[in-house]
Structure 1
Amino acid sequence: MAWWRGKTPAMSEDSDRRRGKRTGLAGGDGRPGTSAMGVEGRQPSMKRDLWRALGYLRPYWWEALGASLSLLLATASNLVTPRLLQILIDRGIKASNLRLIYFMAGGIVVVAALRGVFTFLQGYLAERASQGVAFDLRQQIYTKLQSLSFSYHDQAQTGQLMTRATNDVDIVRMFVGMGFPNLLNIVIVFVGTAALLFAIDWQLALMSLTIVPVALTLILTILRRVMPRFMIIQQKLGHLNTVLQENLAGARVVKAFAREPYEIQRFKAANEDLLRENLYVARVMGFSIPILFTLGGVGTLIVIWAGGLRVIGGRLTLGELVAFNTYLASLTLPLFFLGMILGMMTRAGASARRVFEILDAETEIKEKPDAIELPPLKGRVEFDHVRFRYIGASEDALKDVSFVVEPGETVALLGETGSGKTTIINLIPRFYDVTAGAVRIDGYDVRDVKLHSLRSQIGIVLQETNLFTGTIRENIAFGRPDASMDEIIEAAQAAEAHDFIMSFPDGYETRVGERGVGLSGGQKQRIAIARALLMNPRILILDDYTSSVDVETEARIQRALERLMEGRTSFVIAQRVSTVRRADRILVLDHGRLVAQGTHEELLETSPIYAEIYYLQLGGQQPGRLFALSTPGNGGRRQISRSVRAERFKEVR
């Protein structure tokens, strides 16, 4: 289809240029790839990332302190129990001292109850602190995403962003709330238990603790094998979420082309990739469990054999042997959990790195420290030798573009897909920064003013209409939440939206589904126009705003906009010459260059490109007519016949 014969809303102008060679955070299969979120020169460090994550506990230091004290008390009460058991056996049972037996038994029950209370407090306070950390991380990620420029979002996959803001944050939360405290608990238990074992019998302790270095070596060897896999798992999970998000967003397209079987297989492939990685980690981690159990059995065997001989020889009491064996058992159990906790720590390190890649991402569009507040605009816009290239692109999207638009002037942009129309209007509100040259509004370089003061005076209707879940009233008032109902209705009437809104039972309080589900394309477009008009902007940008409406609706909108454009500087992108011919001036773009500008009548005489577009769309009324075109630079005129136009039409088809 020829580009001037219309295009679908899904065909976003300059999308390929924006994305360049990079399309996301990782390869399509979820493997590590060139990340849009990476910070240049940043070397990954799990230790640094984990300590940084733990730093988020500072606002919750009371809860963290309470959890730590409760953990110490719970551990201490657990270490006291074997000692009470030793006294019960040696001084109670052997001496037939019923009073001491009852007292020690009661003491064991009381200590167990206290351990339960302290364990509850430790778990509750740690969970409060970790949930606070998760809240802060999610909030910071969301806030950061609002400040990142278009170039970042052009390359970031939505599924990866959602995974990092949810699953990765939750993994960090689990480490902060459960993994790190339990790791401390294991260290405290090991040191305390080892000290008590040596206090009871240092020789027996040396023999029984030989299993510890073997167990630690096994755990560390396994962790070295699975450590890289945790990052891969998170990336594959992000890829899976991307596939799911794309399918849900494009559900209508999938059904329209009967691609359900293909989409099912695509999701299955991503799901199987994730399953394989998880099973590999589970298999390797699970390999340690039977070995650790065997080592624990070996330790128990050493205690029973060597300790029994020492009891028989009178060098150890029976109570001390029971206490020693109980301590050793309490030491063996943390070793079983150590592998799991270290695995959790490794996975949390990978997730923390992915989270901090977002938080550390550079914002390309930054306000200068001395940026000024832009005063109320008159609306003069100047492009001064502007050159612009998207990240990853091989050539400039705009090449030495210069023009001046006076206040109140309506300017239309015309050109084929990829010619630079959308790029120009994206530079006016400073969604991107120019590579060279300058964009000025009322004489102010847009890089020298505060972004809010600039964008709040520009109304934009994008080609791809995006409505938010909520009421129609809330969507129209999105840019001005404090707008009165009368102002909202006035904007809707100007956009030819009031009548169809009032046809709904709830009128302006009608709920709009996700992405505007429940409304037609034309209705969504008119609501978007009303949203822009409510801002009462001095500069109005309309990016192919009639792409989703029929001819009759376009005519109504056009009549309304003609009244509203009076006194405003307006930029209009459209595919139909009938829409742009009313503009005060038309800019014709070709492969990033401004090749012609003027009124409709002037361009028919001076621009071959514009004239060819016009006669291909509307020239059927003048069959066989020859028209003269002034070609810049040749000093002459050329004749293009209907047959030549027909041949060119065949070429572009």
Structure 2
Amino acid sequence: MFVRPLLRFWPDLRSRIGVYVLVLVLTLLATGIQLIIPVITGYIIDGPIAHKDLSALWLPVFGVLIIGLAEAVGMWARRMIVAPVVSTWEVTWRSRLFDRLQYTSVAIHDSWESGQLLSRAVNDLSQLRRFFAFGLPFLVSTPIVLAVGTVMLVIMQPVFGLIMIIMAVPAIIAVAVFEKHYRDTSRRSQDTMGEVTTDVEESIQGIRILKSFGRSPWAAERFSEISARLKSLEIRKAKLDSWLWSVLLLLPTLAQAAIVAVGTWGVIEGWTTIGTVVAAVTISMVLRMPIEMLGFLLADALMALTAAGRYWEVIDIRHDITDADGGVDDAPEVGRYSGKLRFDDVDFHFADTERLTLQGLDLTIEPGQTLALVGATGSGKTTLASLVPRLQDVTAGRVSIDDVDIRDMPVNELRHLVSVSFEDPILFSTSVAENVEMGAPGASEDEIWEALEIAAAKDFVSRLPDGLDTQVGEQGLSLSGGQRQRLALARAVIGRPRVLVLDDPLSAVDVDTEDRVQRALREILPDSTTLIIAHRPSTAALADVVAVLDEGRISALGTHEELLESSKLYRELMGASAKAEAHAHPGTQSSAQTTTSTQSQEGGRS
């Protein structure tokens, strides 16, 4: 059933169905009451005018005035009542869609263009609001008005009704042909609008790259190509509209001409009156507007149907990252864990390929221990890090904290225990304080400053115009890359997580700042288990243990100094400085072992 996407909104409509039925009645009243005026006009012609009785004219004139007033009041009341109802529905649907996106896995988000999601959340829901406010009430009332008008013509003179019925046959055929072609074109047009939104968003976010490489003409050409496709689809919609409108405009005109011709003949032959003919012609003129509107209403309904289908495509996305019972508890109880993080025979591949990114991976990070993960580009480091907070789920094997499979934990309990900071920091267009507090809702100002100090961000934040209240702008682009990374790190550490996952979070800062941050983490968060993706020798050297990831497996494990001695791949990954260090300190292995032993006795963190 092709209208099913619209019918699925029934549970929301049902809660206000009484009010909405009133809207439908008022719409029918405002459009249908005009049919009485032609009857009154015919009465005036055949009555007071034919009999030259002026005194009998006042009552029908007063009736016309009352009808006009009732029509105006009905239209005003309809608008006043329907606006808050449909606006409430729009907010409900938009909130539902936004909520759905919040619980949808990262993998699914990655498979969608952001512009397609934006166009559904903005354009499609606005289309649905307009349809339920205007399109649907008139789409329901228009056929009723046409049917009532035709019945009135049959009662006045059966031949006049027959003319309108004959006119309806080609109109129905035209509507059926139009619906088939317009629905497909409307879907393609709205999908292309999503592409336009994506392209604009990418161009705005990547404006520095486009300008730096002088690629603005290329971006403009690409945008023009997408816009040209959208233009061709909109032109096709306009052409389809024009054909339907032409048919719907022509048929009532032919019907009016036929009624005038037949009616004139009837008056001459004596089987009808002038008043009846005038009334019939006037009714056909009143019906002309609903018939003409039918083309617009049908196009609006088809666009709303497409918008509804696109909306439900998002709502129907299956939640694949959930609690064990299939739901997601927003406020679960958070248990006490020491933070032992373990990967047992983990396999992982992305949904669009069978090639394993991680295979047979085994790794254990003891409570309070810092492990640096190194590997070549594409070896699966970021993928492995994303498994810990369940941004992705393992294909096989398991990830556990204190020997509890993280899939058996409530998702939000896990994300209270695990905090993440990525190489590409995402900040929100709000204040510094609110961005940092996101990692621990309700944190005090002192706690925010402490987190900023750990992340070596306290000095630059204190120099900002409004300090903690400084607005960072969209995605924090008013700050430098290093400043954004440090704020993102402060957000990760403010909640004192049991497990801290750092995906090269300080790549945009200097080595000295990185060293200060690493030492602050050791001193202030000594009990946090830390998995850090490292590209610098300095980062790896500060870790308790270093793991080398190669082709989805851990190929080497040891301290920085041990791996410099024993792993050729590690030396290659760490670069020339690491090789020079290995040759300059051939006896570092024993000292490293001593250091590791001392750290173990002190609880894993120095």
Tell me the equivalent position of 1:506.
466
Q: 1:221 to 1:501 in 2, by over 3 A?
A: same
Deviation at 1:92, TM superposition (A): 1.5
Pick from 35, 52, 57 the counterpart of residue 8 of structure 2: 52
Corresponding letter in the other structure for 1:490 = E
In the alignment, does 2:380 pair up with 1:380? Answer: no
Tell me the equivalent position of 1:321.
277
1:278-357 → structure 2 map (5 Å cutoff): 278-357=234-313
For 1:317 and 1:209, the matched residues in 2 are separated by 22
For 1:498 and 1:225, the matched residues in 2 are separated by 61
Deviation at 1:539, TM superposition (A): 0.9
Pick from 532, 542, 545 the counterpart of residue 572 of structure 1: 532
Q: Please say if residues 388 and 396 of structure 1, whose CA atoms lie closer than 8 Å, have aligned partners that are also in contact.
A: yes
Tell me the equivalent position of 1:641.
none
- SS of residue matched to 1:209: helix
Q: Render the CA deviation track for 1:322-367: whole Å, top value 9, x for unaligned.
A: 1111112222322222122112111111111110000011111121
Corresponding letter in the other structure for 1:203 = V
Q: Render the CA deviation track for 1:410-429: whole Å, top value 9, x for unaligned.
A: 11100011111111111111
Deviation at 1:116, TM superposition (A): 0.9
In the alignment, does 2:336 pair up with 1:410? Answer: no
Q: 1:625 to 1:558 in 2, by over 3 A?
A: closer
In the alignment, does 2:326 pair up with 1:366? Answer: no
Pick from 153, 156, 176 the counterpart of residue 109 of structure 2: 153
Deviation at 1:284, TM superposition (A): 2.0
Pick from 456, 466, 472 the counterpart of residue 496 of structure 1: 456
- SS of residue matched to 1:470: coil
Q: Render the CA deviation track for 1:558-604: whole Å, top value 9, x for unaligned.
A: 23223234121011111112211221111110111111111123223
Higher RCO (CA < 8 A, seq sep 6+): 1
Deviation at 1:208, TM superposition (A): 4.1
Corresponding letter in the other structure for 2:531 = F
For 2:582 and 2:40, the matched residues in 1 are separated by 108
Tell me the equivalent position of 1:127.
83
- SS of residue matched to 2:502: strand
Identity over aligned pairs, percent: 33
For 1:531 and 1:289, the matched residues in 2 are separated by 59
Q: Which deviates more from structure 2 when the two are superposed, residues 47-56 or residues 170-179? A: 47-56
Tell me the equivalent position of 2:545.
585
In the alignment, does 2:244 pair up with 1:244? Answer: no
Deviation at 1:459, TM superposition (A): 1.8
Tell me the equivalent position of 2:361.
401
Q: Render the CA deviation track for 1:252-281: whole Å, top value 9, x for unaligned.
A: 111111101111111111111101100111
1:227-242 → structure 2 map (5 Å cutoff): 227-242=183-198
For 2:28 and 2:186, the matched residues in 1 are separated by 31
- SS of residue matched to 1:512: coil
Q: Which deviates more from structure 2 when the two are superposed, residues 337-346 or residues 49-58? A: 49-58
In the alignment, does 2:412 pair up with 1:452? Answer: yes
1:23-102 → structure 2 map (5 Å cutoff): 45-102=1-58
Corresponding letter in the other structure for 1:531 = R
Corresponding letter in the other structure for 2:127 = I
Deviation at 1:50, TM superposition (A): 1.7
For 2:32 and 2:115, the matched residues in 1 are separated by 46
Deviation at 1:74, TM superposition (A): 2.0
Q: 1:341 to 1:76 in 2, by over 3 A?
A: closer
Corresponding letter in the other structure for 1:224 = K
Q: Please say if residues 160 and 235 of structure 1, whose CA atoms lie closer than 8 Å, have aligned partners that are also in contact.
A: yes
In the alignment, does 2:567 pair up with 1:607? Answer: yes
In the alignment, does 2:398 pair up with 1:438? Answer: yes
Q: 1:586 to 1:623 in 2, by over 3 A?
A: closer
- SS of residue matched to 2:9: helix
Q: Render the CA deviation track for 1:153-197: whole Å, top value 9, x for unaligned.
A: 111111110001111111222221111111111111011111111
In the alignment, does 2:228 pair up with 1:272? Answer: yes
Q: Please say if residues 476 and 534 of structure 1, whose CA atoms lie closer than 8 Å, have aligned partners that are also in contact.
A: yes
1:194-205 → structure 2 map (5 Å cutoff): 194-205=150-161
What 5-or-longer segments of structure 2 have no aligned partner? 590-606
Deviation at 1:621, TM superposition (A): 6.0
What 5-or-longer segments of structure 1 have no aligned partner? 1-44, 630-653
Tell me the equivalent position of 2:94.
138
In the alignment, does 2:220 pair up with 1:220? Answer: no
For 2:505 and 2:30, the matched residues in 1 are separated by 66
Corresponding letter in the other structure for 1:192 = V
1:550-565 → structure 2 map (5 Å cutoff): 550-565=510-525
Q: Structure 1-normalised TM-score?
A: 0.86
For 2:110 and 2:481, the matched residues in 1 are separated by 24
- SS of residue matched to 1:94: helix
1:478-557 → structure 2 map (5 Å cutoff): 478-557=438-517
Q: Render the CA deviation track for 1:505-561: whole Å, top value 9, x for unaligned.
A: 311111111010221111111111111111111111111011111223223222322
Q: Structure 2-normalised TM-score?
A: 0.93
For 1:627 and 1:323, the matched residues in 2 are separated by 111
Q: Please say if residues 208 and 303 of structure 1, whose CA atoms lie closer than 8 Å, have aligned partners that are also in contact.
A: no
Aligned length: 585
Q: 1:424 to 1:107 in 2, by over 3 A?
A: same
- SS of residue matched to 2:399: strand
Corresponding letter in the other structure for 2:206 = G
Deviation at 1:493, TM superposition (A): 1.4
Q: Which deviates more from structure 2 when the two are superposed, residues 525-534 or residues 206-215? A: 206-215
Q: 1:189 to 1:363 in 2, by over 3 A?
A: same
Q: Please say if residues 215 and 335 of structure 1, whose CA atoms lie closer than 8 Å, have aligned partners that are also in contact.
A: no
In the alignment, does 2:121 pair up with 1:165? Answer: yes
Deviation at 1:120, TM superposition (A): 1.8
- SS of residue matched to 1:422: helix
Corresponding letter in the other structure for 2:508 = S
Q: Render the CA deviation track for 1:293-341: whole Å, top value 9, x for unaligned.
A: 3322211111111111112222212211111111122223222221221
Corresponding letter in the other structure for 1:388 = F
For 1:46 and 1:343, the matched residues in 2 are separated by 15
Q: Render the CA deviation track for 1:229-272: whole Å, top value 9, x for unaligned.
A: 01100111001111101101111111111101111111111111
Q: 1:249 to 1:578 in 2, by over 3 A?
A: same
Corresponding letter in the other structure for 1:609 = L
Q: Please say if residues 496 and 528 of structure 2, whose CA atoms lie closer than 8 Å, have aligned partners that are also in contact.
A: no
For 1:338 and 1:54, the matched residues in 2 are separated by 24
Deviation at 1:127, TM superposition (A): 3.0
Corresponding letter in the other structure for 2:359 = K
Q: Please say if residues 46 and 350 of structure 1, whose CA atoms lie closer than 8 Å, have aligned partners that are also in contact.
A: no
Q: 1:411 to 1:171 in 2, by over 3 A?
A: same
Pick from 85, 107, 126 the counterpart of residue 63 of structure 2: 107
Corresponding letter in the other structure for 2:394 = V
Deviation at 1:481, TM superposition (A): 2.8
Q: Which deviates more from structure 2 when the two are superposed, residues 554-563 or residues 375-384? A: 554-563
Q: Please say if residues 374 and 449 of structure 1, whose CA atoms lie closer than 8 Å, have aligned partners that are also in contact.
A: no
Q: Please say if residues 151 and 161 of structure 2, whose CA atoms lie closer than 8 Å, have aligned partners that are also in contact.
A: no
Tell me the equivalent position of 1:176.
132
In the alignment, does 2:424 pair up with 1:464? Answer: yes
Corresponding letter in the other structure for 2:112 = A
